[in-house]
Amino acid sequence: MSPKITTELLKQLRQVMKSPKYVQEPVQAYIVPSGDAHQSEYIAPCDCRRAFISGFDGSAGTAIITEQHAAMWTDGRYFLQAANQMDNNWTLMKMGLKDTPTQEDWLVSVLPEGSKVGVDPFIIPADQWKRMSKVLRSAGHDLVPIKENLIDTIWTDCPQRPCKPLITLDLNYTGVSWRDKIVALRSKMAERKVLWFVVTALDEVAWLFNLRGSDVEYNPVFFAYAVIGMNTIRLFIDGDRMMDPAVREHLQLDSTLEPEFKIQVMPYGSILTELQAVGASLSPKEKVWLSDKASYALTEAVPKAYQYLTPYTPICIAKAVKNVSETEGMRRAHVKDAVALCELFNWLEKEVPKGTVTEITAADKAEEFRSQQKDFVELSFATISSTGPNGAIIHYKPVPETNRTLSVNEIYLLDSGAQYKDGTTDVTRTMHFGTPSAYEKECFTYVLKGHIAVSAAIFPNGTKGHLLDSFARSALWDCGLDYLHGTGHGVGSFLNVHEGPCGISYKTFADEPLEAGMIVSDEPGYYEDGSFGIRIENVVLVIPAETKYNFKNRGSLTFEPLTLVPIQTKMIDVSLLTQKELNWVNDYHQKCREVIGAELERQGRLEALQWLIRETEPLIRVQ
Amino acid sequence: MSPKITTELLKQLRQVMKSPKYVQEPVQAYIVPSGDAHQSEYIAPCDCRRAFISGFDGSAGTAIITEQHAAMWTDGRYFLQAANQMDNNWTLMKMGLKDTPTQEDWLVSVLPEGSKVGVDPFIIPADQWKRMSKVLRSAGHDLVPIKENLIDTIWTDCPQRPCKPLITLDLNYTGVSWRDKIVALRSKMAERKVLWFVVTALDEVAWLFNLRGSDVEYNPVFFAYAVIGMNTIRLFIDGDRMMDPAVREHLQLDSTLEPEFKIQVMPYGSILTELQAVGASLSPKEKVWLSDKASYALTEAVPKAYQYLTPYTPICIAKAVKNVSETEGMRRAHVKDAVALCELFNWLEKEVPKGTVTEITAADKAEEFRSQQKDFVELSFATISSTGPNGAIIHYKPVPETNRTLSVNEIYLLDSGAQYKDGTTDVTRTMHFGTPSAYEKECFTYVLKGHIAVSAAIFPNGTKGHLLDSFARSALWDCGLDYLHGTGHGVGSFLNVHEGPCGISYKTFADEPLEAGMIVSDEPGYYEDGSFGIRIENVVLVIPAETKYNFKNRGSLTFEPLTLVPIQTKMIDVSLLTQKELNWVNDYHQKCREVIGAELERQGRLEALQWLIRETEPLIRVQ
């Protein structure tokens, strides 16, 4: 893959950074964050400004351009990819390594005295603005909002903002009506004595109204904001999407409703002025609740004295705890997903030795098998189909320039998932279609031990996910190995494949305690640059655990794997497993065989069924 | 133990909270933090204001008194003790439990509109002031500094502030001269471009000047501040301590020195005005470095624009990484300490069955044996000598009212340590002098498994201690058990037995990464209210670990126990140990036998040597 040549673009950007047409005063640095105006992780093409200016198109990264420098901050998943995609104009800032400066500290170290640092106030989250602005100010610089996005001014062929039709979800899928969700939200607002709540995250808008969209690839969301008052509901959304009779009926737009459930539909672009009007109407002690990750622009629309900011919104927390309808939907989705993967792996086992399967065709085949399943909507993220050295690029996506042919001599890593109308999946399996080396098996087995350590962990109610992260690393650490990414993320229910407020990571972020009904991934790995990558990922449901004792009556929790896809036993060095770990693998495979076997049979996929039965043979310890 | 009756005191306090003699405007609430003006954990009697007003004398707790309420926040170590020591005027706020409000939130929930909340600005750390003040302000209240401490106004028999002689430490103990420490500090100051550094923590002043004191029981520190400039050194200290010829020579007060090493001695009480003068003399961009835990009073003495605040000071971090002289000193101190404990346990084994040993006499005997060792100075904290139900009071200290007789029917927990001129010790052993029940052995063995899991952990360079905390709990969690305290704390070198900036805790505080040379405790436990307490504590040194592989050349670390006291094998259920754990215990006991055995022999303590040999017999797995 050759890097994007950005010399000319950077020159243009540095010109507009000084142009009175766009900036009141010249800015000496311009920050290009990853997100869109909703702080989304996955973004629409029109919002891929950081990728446009730098060439690096991973899901996380922040670019900062000064008159002399262009620097990119990204995390361990993307070190290799970013280095490959960016030209020599760019300096890679490896986040998480000890000597890497923060963006603020770096700016202070390179800027001339009294500099202005510009950023689009709709794109930067308020908490980040605050942190950066404070550091910059204390060093004599200024962070300034630039109304017009400077990347957009030089992006001549920028695509249009998408505006696709909506999907309505009935109670069978959601378990709770949007009216009841509004009632629950208002009761949380009353508890905190706030009068208004601003919904800024796209998945929160979608969840609240039991609607889905397809404005952003992989994430079934649509561009919208909502402002909820104690007696009003305002939905800011563009296009003719509210003309769809199904949507009108779902939202009861034409019914005679109690006024507090009457939805006022307003243009997407009017959110700022409407919010400013709300802000101006407030009396002392009246508060507006926003996420502290909402954009600086929207946060500043409300006078500071009236802002009530929290790291997680009540919608984010309610959304994370899946109800019975959602959990059952997730189970169904994972059964279908496992059927597709059994088909795929059975097919790969036959085709790979012929030398005709590439990373791209394998990914396409996985999508083909998934699309045959009921209620399939789309993939839940770009399939990571990687063999040999490509497997060490943690968030690799095969493109023609890098596409490798699968072979019986290399490890193959497939991290993939789908959106079904009843749930979202995300699963990684690492396979060898020939004979793995002893070293490959050793590394795979350490990763498996970490996977099991998390999956089988029992922990008290109220435990935060980050306290489980080291369990996933312990076996690797013992041998001096590790992996440079977190162990797990929250997973939405036919929503974003990455969602807050819980997760399993060594990074101490403000994660909410795990509780029964939450769904997270468990995905330790090991990566050797230039050689191979290993990751074993299941999506797991937090469930109550039975324990011998019950300290302080707190109760305990553990995980139930929703993903039911065999873990390749050929890759396991059984001698490295404890008896407990061996039993875990055999029990897991027994469950795969029973549950997925029944579904394969029902669907008449008998060859894949034979593959499943072979792959789930119990492991035996050779003495 | 009967609670302190505080009705009259609270009445008096509520009067002064409204008295124009002490407050400009009446305050509706008054905060009484734990610490002194140096944010010390252990404090002099004159600073025990929270204990005076409430009766609760544990090491951690904050009292808040309003016109209607009196509430005490403390953590899991002290729930029982606080409940026992406080009368019905007080509400106990159990920190760490889900439903316990923060102090700020509680104040907001109970105060009438527009209240004033008072606090002594010398006692409250600046970071805590900032946090509370923000929450209170946003709820329409004000946090106000009250110059005169209101507790002192009603504390008629308040003791005098101590002012005891100093001890000088030469290079054999410290490894680095105070001049070289000043040079290193100034180089850190230059790196951060600060002109002044204010030393506010008592152990940091003591460490910097290689001096020790005894103003505070258990902590070999003295009341002082220091202000270090690039060319000046000011030491704020009272009494005639600078008249001591040994101190004068140590600090070279009478020598002709380069001016930048000339120490100006000033009165302790003049720090505020001197610092205000420093603050007033600054030009733009000139900064004063303080800990963000320094008092609000001192922090505010420097104009905000000139403050440079960090969670940990360069002295705190340098002090935590012990050099070879300090490590060797710590080793010597732990050998002597183990000799004393072998003597004690041998004595207890003979005496307990007679029914003549109480918690207090056992603690006294432990001190007696320790005081026989070379360079013994004092205990490093109040000995926790507890049997049966008293063992469940995590930071119990025996007093005549609670004193129990040790018996062959109850578990005995001894958590004790000493200050020797060459190092500080802190060790907990849990013993049974009769036959422990199967349940007691089971719980003890889970705690031991946790202790071993931390002690034997291998982890990458740069790992923070909090990532190891769950290792200590995993075996307990599996059975639904847990303990409500952290797993480890930093330990000073002939300094405070609790010190930052590292530790092992589930609480995510801003701990610095572990590095070779740091010394922490490893002390998981299990406590059953009303029945017994179990804790197994070693002090351990962070050392490089040899591993099979070396990911990204980061290197790995592990721990070496400095504490070498047998762990009672009678309490271990061997069937619950893995082979690796069994080997750990046997290797540990082998080392105790070799190292401590040699010293017992050298000291002619042959009966204790026989006890040691018996107690370090290898464990054998009964099939």
Give residue-wise pLDDT tens across range B106-115: 999 999 999 9
Q: Which residue of B has its CA nearest to A97?
A: B462
Q: Looking at chain B from residue 455 to 474, which residues have their Cβ under 8 Å from any Cβ of chain A?
A: 457-460, 462, 466-471, 474
DSSP state letter for A231: S
Beta strand A427-432 pairing with A411-416: antiparallel
User: What is the predicted pLDDT for the residue at A276?
Assistant: 96
Token digits of residue B330? 């710590």
**Cβ contact, residue pair A548, B467, below 8 Å:** no
- Stretch A249-273: mean pLDDT, rounded? 95
User: What is the predicted pLDDT for the residue at B509?
Assistant: 66
Give residue-wise pLDDT tens across range B214-239: 999 999 999 999 999 999 999 999 98
Token digits of residue B96? 């760490």
**Cβ contact, residue pair A481, B551, below 8 Å:** yes
Best mutation target, A194, A286, A470, A483, to test chain B (most B CBs within 10 A): A470
Confidence check: pLDDT of B1 > 80: no
B554 interaction partners in chain A (CB closer than 8 Å): 482
**Is the domain covering A6-154 a CATH 3.40.50.740 domain?**
no
Instruction: Flag whether residue B622 sits within 8 Å of chain A, measured between CB atoms.
Output: no
User: What is the predicted pLDDT for the residue at A97?
Assistant: 86
Give residue-wise pLDDT tens across range A126-152: 999 999 999 999 889 999 999 999 999
Q: Which of A557, A548, A395, A534 is nearest to A467 (CA)?
A: A557
Instruction: Flag whether residue B378 sits within 8 Å of chain A, measured between CB atoms.
Output: no
% of chain A at pLDDT higher than 70: 99
Confidence check: pLDDT of A510 > 70: no
B457 interaction partners in chain A (CB closer than 8 Å): 474, 477
The residue with greater pLDDT, B75 or A203, is: A203
CB contact set of A183 (below 8 Å; sequence gap of 6+): none
**Cβ contact, residue pair B457, A474, below 8 Å:** yes
Confidence check: pLDDT of A509 > 80: no
B548 interaction partners in chain A (CB closer than 8 Å): 479-480
Q: Where are the domains of chain B?
A: 6-154, 167-319, 321-615
| Radius of gyration for the alpha carbons in chain A, expressed in angstroms and rounded | 25
**Partners of residue A513 on adjacent β-strands:** A464
Residue B477 has its nearest CB partner, among A460, A462, A508, at A460
Give residue-wise pLDDT tens across range A405-459: 999 999 999 999 999 999 999 999 999 999 999 999 999 999 999 999 999 999 9
Q: What is the dihedral of CA B97, B102, B105, B106, to 10 degrees?
A: 80
Give residue-wise pLDDT tens across range B190-203: 998 899 999 999 99
Instruction: Flag whether residue B550 sits within 8 Å of chain A, measured between CB atoms.
Output: yes
Residue B467 has its nearest CB partner, among A305, A469, A476, at A469
User: What is the predicted pLDDT for the residue at B59?
Assistant: 83
Best mutation target, B94, B474, B534, B547, to test chain A (most A CBs within 10 A): B474
A470 interaction partners in chain B (CB closer than 8 Å): 459, 467-468, 470-471
Taking the CA of residue A600 and the nearest CA in chain B, the distance in Å comes to 35
Burial pattern A326-362, b for ≥16 Cβ within 10 A else e, equals: bbbbbbbbbbbbbbbbbbbbbbbeebbeeeebbbbbb
Residue B479 has its nearest CB partner, among A140, A481, A547, at A547
- Is residue A110 within 8 Å of A20, Cβ to Cβ? no
- Stretch B8-24: mean pLDDT, rounded? 97
- Is residue B106 within 8 Å of B64, Cβ to Cβ? yes
Taking the CA of residue B324 and the nearest CA in chain A, the distance in Å comes to 25
User: What is the predicted pLDDT for the residue at B623?
Assistant: 62
Q: Which residue of A has its CA nearest to B558?
A: A478
Token digits of residue B55? 């009766």
User: What is the predicted pLDDT for the residue at B555?
Assistant: 98
- DSSP element (H, E) containing B263: strand B263-266
User: What is the predicted pLDDT for the residue at B99?
Assistant: 87
- Tell me the longest C-alpha to C-alpha distance in chain A: 78
Q: Out of 3.90.230.10, 3.40.50.920, 2.60.34.10, 1.25.40.10, which CATH number does the structure's domain B321-615 have?
A: 3.90.230.10
User: What is the predicted pLDDT for the residue at B118?
Assistant: 98
Chains A and B form CB pairs within 8 A to the count of: 82
CB contact set of B265 (below 8 Å; sequence gap of 6+): B235, B237, B242, B253
Instruction: Flag whether residue A573 sits within 8 Å of chain B, measured between CB atoms.
Output: no
pLDDT band of residue A1 (cuts 50, 70, 90) is: low
pLDDT band of residue B63 (cuts 50, 70, 90) is: very high
Q: What is the CATH number of domain B167-319?
A: 3.40.350.10
Fold match, A167-319 / A321-615: no
Separation CA A179–CA A6 (nearest Å): 50
User: What is the predicted pLDDT for the residue at A223?
Assistant: 98
Q: Looking at chain A from residue 222 to 241, which residues have their Cβ under 8 Å from any Cβ of chain B?
A: none
- Is residue A442 within 8 Å of A576, Cβ to Cβ? yes
- Stretch B468-479: mean pLDDT, rounded? 98
Instruction: Flag whether residue A269 sits within 8 Å of chain B, measured between CB atoms.
Output: no
User: What is the predicted pLDDT for the residue at A96?
Assistant: 85
pLDDT band of residue A228 (cuts 50, 70, 90) is: very high
Give residue-wise pLDDT tens across range B38-59: 999 899 999 999 999 999 998 8
Give residue-wise pLDDT tens across range A582-608: 999 999 999 999 999 999 999 999 999
Give residue-wise pLDDT tens across range B269-316: 999 999 999 999 998 778 999 999 999 999 999 999 899 999 999 999
A304 interaction partners in chain B (CB closer than 8 Å): none
The structure's pTM equals 0.92
Give residue-wise pLDDT tens across range B501-537: 999 999 866 689 999 999 999 999 999 999 999 999 9
Instruction: Flag whether residue A506 sits within 8 Å of chain B, measured between CB atoms.
Output: yes
Name the region of B419 (left: φ>0; alpha: ψ -120 to 50; beta: rest): beta
Confidence check: pLDDT of B373 > 70: yes
A552 interaction partners in chain B (CB closer than 8 Å): 482
Separation CA B524–CA B514 (nearest Å): 19
Q: Looking at chain A from residue 103 to 162, which residues have their Cβ under 8 Å from any Cβ of chain B?
A: 138, 140
